[in-house]
Amino acid sequence: MAHSVPLILYVIIQFAAFLLVLAGTPSGMFRSGSPSFPGPFGCITLWGLKLTCASVDYNVTIHFFFRNCRNRLNLFRAAQGLAIVTIFVYGAAFILGLILLYGCSFLRWVCLALNIVGIATLCVVWAALAVMYNKTDDPQCS
């Protein structure tokens, strides 16, 4: 059975998107020098702060760092949840793309819907982090 080239390309690109979201979620979102995140930390991720960006361990969690900033903490929690949702959505779109290769043509609309949902959730994560980066608060977060 011959597979169509566009469908094979879809599966390859979907797998690449899944891997990039999977690898990018725990990596550093902000590097040292951000005006709204002063201090000795090298990187700020969705999950915590690291002294060096290449490190696997978190020195301070987001929940501890923003314990006085309820709005920032809520935005980070929303971004964390949506990042996890995006990983599952792109993983499902990849698996359904593989199934689509073997003749289940009705799944193409499901794959399209999953990709639209994945794009939307990823945009919300990026927007939440952009707000965090560009918004400066005083130490009491007022």
Domain ranges of the chain: 5-134
From first to last of the 142 residues of the chain, give the pLDDT tens digit.
567 888 899 999 999 999 999 888 777 666 666 555 555 667 778 888 877 777 777 788 888 878 888 888 888 899 999 999 999 999 999 999 999 888 777 888 999 999 999 999 999 998 888 887 777 765 566 5
CB atoms within 10 A of CB 120: 12
**What is the pTM for the complete model shown?**
0.81
Residue with token string 């949506």: 82
In DSSP terms, 43 is beta-bridged to: 31, 50
| Gyration radius of the chain over CA positions | 19
Sequence-separated (6 or more) residues with CB below 8 Å from residue 129: 29, 30, 46, 79
Give the three-class secondary structure for 23.
Answer: helix
Tokens 């990983």 locate to 87
CB environment 70-81: b (16+ within 10 A), e (fewer)? eebbebbeebbe
